[in-house]
């Protein structure tokens, strides 16, 4: 009995010692790399087909990747084209492992992060390079794809879910032609209710949203402001949260926590 008691006390002391030595990693010992999930969508339509915009995409994607490299998390993504529901392949899929004070070493962890960053670079280049500009921009259909992934078996239990959309947010699809829309409050609610009643409104409950990457340069200021208001209300109807300070042509105030 004494031997068992001593072993129990020793085990307890050993675990407490590990916790004490872990320092800033203490709270992350038992965290999963899937605690944070970021899903990115890249608009590849003609209105975003310029070297400057695509360089901005890569710059902002690197900002996201560097935060995940420090905190741990999963990054998935796809492009916004003409027929998202029929063509989606999720070409971006990278895991950034969290530092585990029991199983990791600084060298091993650094190697894992470097490998993840290299994979992301290759996947992003393949997703964006050598693609003909899409003839239309099916933003809403792409959001349905994002919702399916975020609510799927692999990611549905993630504690933090983030959606980053690299786009000017000008929907041009068989259903809607946003360059010609005038987004009054009535029209906005009509569109949202039409999407809801048809079963197309995605479930993005609890997801934080950022919009970045491009500006709607062909719209005047009033139309651009109305477009922003539309998307803020649209995402609110999906259960997601998009704030005005997270809606811009570059990534603003990005945080995974």
Range of the domain at 122: 31-246
Asked if residue 45 and residue 4 are part of one domain, the reply reads no
**Total domains, the chain:** 2
Asked if residue 187 and residue 103 are part of one domain, the reply reads yes
Say what the pLDDT of residue 84 is: 62
2 located within any domain: yes
Asked if residue 237 and residue 180 are part of one domain, the reply reads yes
pTM across the whole model: 0.85
Say what the pLDDT of residue 101 is: 80
Q: For the chain, what is the radius of gyration of the CA atoms?
A: 22
With a cut of 70, list the residues of the chain below it in pLDDT.
1-34, 83-87, 130
In the structure encoding, which two tokens stand for residue 13, read together?
A: 């002391």
Say what the pLDDT of residue 88 is: 76
Contact 189, 228 (CB under 8 A): no
Asked if residue 35 and residue 25 are part of one domain, the reply reads no
The domain that holds 162 is classified in CATH as 3.40.50
Asked if residue 1 and residue 94 are part of one domain, the reply reads no
Which tens digit of pLDDT belongs to each residue from 35-72?
899 999 999 888 888 889 989 999 999 999 999 999 99
DSSP string, 174-226: SS-BGGG----HHHHHHHHHHHHHTT-S---TT-EEEEEE---TTS-HHHHHH
């Amino acid at each position: 009995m004494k031997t068992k008691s001593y072993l129990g006390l020793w085990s307890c002391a050993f675990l407490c010692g590990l916790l004490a030595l872990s320092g800033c990693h203490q709270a992350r010992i038992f965290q999963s790399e899937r605690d944070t999930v970021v899903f990115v969508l890249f608009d590849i339509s003609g209105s975003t087909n310029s070297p400057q915009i695509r360089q901005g995409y890569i710059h902002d994607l690197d900002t996201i990747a560097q935060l995940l490299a420090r905190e741990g998390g999963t990054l998935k993504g796809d492009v916004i084209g003409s027929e998202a529901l029929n063509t989606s392949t999720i070409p971006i899929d990278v895991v950034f492992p969290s530092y585990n004070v029991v199983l990791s070493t600084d060298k091993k962890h650094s190697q894992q992060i470097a490998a993840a960053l290299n994979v992301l670079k290759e996947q992003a280049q393949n997703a964006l390079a050598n693609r003909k500009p899409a003839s239309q921009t099916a933003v809403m259909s792409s959001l349905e794809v994002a919702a399916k992934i975020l609510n799927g078996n692999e990611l549905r239990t993630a504690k933090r879910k983030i959606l980053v959309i690299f786009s000017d947010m000008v929907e041009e699809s068989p259903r809607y032609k946003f360059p010609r829309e005038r987004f009054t409050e009535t029209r906005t609610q009509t569109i949202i209710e039409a999407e809801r009643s048809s079963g197309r409104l995605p479930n993005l409950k609890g997801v934080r949203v950022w919009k970045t990457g491009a500006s709607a340069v062909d719209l005047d200021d009033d139309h651009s402001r109305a477009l922003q208001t539309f998307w803020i209300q649209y995402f609110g109807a999906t259960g997601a949260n998009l704030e005005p300070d997270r809606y811009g042509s570059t990534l603003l105030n990005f945080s995974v926590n």
